[in-house]
Chain A
Amino acid sequence: MLTLHCPYCGIDADETELAPGGEAHLRRFGPGSSDDDFESYLFARENPKGVHFERWRHAYGCGKWFHAARCTATLEVFGTYPAQTTEPPQDIRDAISAKRPGWTWRTFA
């Protein structure tokens, strides 16, 4: 079972306590944006076989949203971090680099 550490309440939460929330760090494109940006924001999704960043909610715990860095090919969890950021923090990137040298995800590396 997938276990994620909630960065708010500090609990190692089982998957049954958590609600998955899809791709992390989406930038919102609203009215007035180009068709390409709007379509990409609404529908296109990263779907990597490997390093991936996601949003999760500690639904049956503290109720807060947070981010997780995972590997979709092995289900390994690299780390979790709070939601109040638009990009993965350096310590998470370092943790991934230690295990997946040369990884990239969207514009992050």
Chain B
Amino acid sequence: MKKRYSAFAIAREAMRNHLGWERAWASPIPKAKYDAIIIGAGGHGLATAYYLGKNHGIRNVAILEKGWLGGGNTGRNTTIIRSNYLQDPSAAIYEKSRSLYETLSQDLNYNIMYSPRGVMMLAQTHHEVRGYQRTAYANALQGVKTEFISPRRVKELCPIMNIDGPRYPVLGALWQDRAGTARHDAVAWGYARACSDMGMDIIQQCEVTAIRREGGRVVGVDTTKGAIDCNKLGIVVAGHSGVLADMAGFRLPIESVALQALVSEPIKPCMDVVVMANTVHGYMSQSDKGEMVIGGGADGYNNYTQRGSFHHIEETVRALVETFPMIARLKMLRQWGGIVDMTGDRSPILSKTPVENVFINCGWGTGGFKAIPGSGWGFAELMATGHSPLTAEFGLERFREGRFVDESVAAGVAH
């Protein structure tokens, strides 16, 4: 059992030159067989393993990671957490996720710095006004607290915003005051520490090269660290879902594209909410370090390179300078890309697959970070029991059956 993190622990370590801190998770060599293997030690994979152990008592689990823990999209997003979705299945899983985030620091004994600072999605066309009013009514029925607010309230909440833009004046906003941000790396690290504490094996630098099947069911995987057997396999690899599905012998309704983000130099606190502007397409928040964190659009073509096209950055920054004139002379510090797995209806896939005991959790597209705890909760239940009310509508068969969870129409943009 690991020593708990606490104010007392900080004081204790301060007295002895910080020599007593333990490694947060172990780096074991893989065993020959596990009850369950999760491929992908990002937020979703680690959360799945954590709830397999915590909620379902399945602790003989390995989490295999090709690179380093949390080094994919978990460490590349803009850390926004919200649950103001239109469709009922989406609202259910994202709100479950948001509510788990609220107490995740206590649950994991790891400070994930959840900051419920509020998220506003600007309505800058009359179409958007109607769309967000509809979403606000839908959220009221779903038990998700959101409201449609006036331009004046927008200005009060975010004084640095220019709401009288000549081309797209702000006509209102969908406001969720319990939404916010969290420290993305800490989410992965916190889950990893808790998984390791339960006796699970997190194996980094271990790429899966083949999925072994016998009689239509999975028996194990081949990896760069040797063959490992398993009873159940969960594929949670975001952008590389298509590659893993190909190894398992089935196809997915998914294409992988690059999504970019960037941060500015740090400046004094000037903005304590998250603002998303979907018509002009940019979103921004201020990190605790003072950097303005900016997210933009995804490329329209398949790409695995974790870098995107420069003109998307130009478009995003142009839109945000119109909306926030004071950032016009900010210098940008870093820019990066992540590979996101896009489904046709812009909703995720949490599903059984054509291969028995292989489960897949993918398709979170451009909005997976906010869903990590809820996704792990539901996917663990699906893997352990074969059914979860949270994931029931997100099966692979929904495409064949025409039961889309159509958030692309609801939002009008990728999100």
Contacts and interface: CB of A to CB of B under 8 A. Distances in A.
B303 interface: yes
B305 A74 contact: yes
Which 5 residue pairs spanning A and B have beta carbons closest together? A47-B242, A43-B253, A20-B300, A44-B251, A20-B301
A8 B401 CA distance: 40
30 contacts: A1-B309, A2-B301, A15-B309, A15-B311, A16-B311, A19-B300, A20-B300, A20-B301, A35-B400, A39-B399, A40-B251, A43-B253, A44-B251, A44-B252, A44-B253, A46-B251, A47-B242, A47-B255, A47-B256, A48-B243, A48-B246, A48-B302, A49-B240, A54-B301, A54-B302, A70-B301, A72-B303, A72-B304, A73-B305, A75-B305
Given A1-B310, A15-B311, A75 B256 contact: no
Interface residues of B, number: 24
Contacts of A16: 311
Interface string A14-38: 0110011011000000000001000
A45 B304 contact: no
A35 B303 CA distance: 30
Contact of A43 (B240, B310, B344): B344
Interface of B: 240-243, 246, 251-256, 299-305, 309-311, 344, 399-400
Contacts, number: 63
Contacts of B311: 1, 15-16
A72 B302 CA distance: 6
Interface residues of A, number: 26
Contacts of B251: 40, 44-46
Interface string A47-88: 111001010000000000000001011110000000000000
A35 B397 CA distance: 11
A9 interface: no
A42 B402 CA distance: 11
Nearest to A2: B309
A39 B309 CA distance: 31
Interface of A: 1-2, 15-16, 19-20, 22-23, 35, 39-40, 42-49, 52, 54, 70, 72-75
Contacts of B303: 72, 75
B163 to A, nearest CB: 30
A32 B243 CA distance: 31
A39 B400 contact: yes
B114 to A, nearest CB: 33
A45 B305 contact: no
Given A49-B304, A73-B305, 7 more contacts: A2-B301, A15-B309, A19-B300, A23-B255, A42-B399, A43-B399, A47-B241
A47, A70, A75 pick with most chain B CB within 10 angstroms: A47
B324 to A, nearest CB: 24
Interface centre among B241, B299, B302 (most CB of A within 10 A): B302
Contacts of B304: 49, 72-73
B309 A49 contact: no
Nearest to B302: A72
B408 to A, nearest CB: 13
A37 to B, nearest CB: 11
A52 B242 CA distance: 13
B133 to A, nearest CB: 31
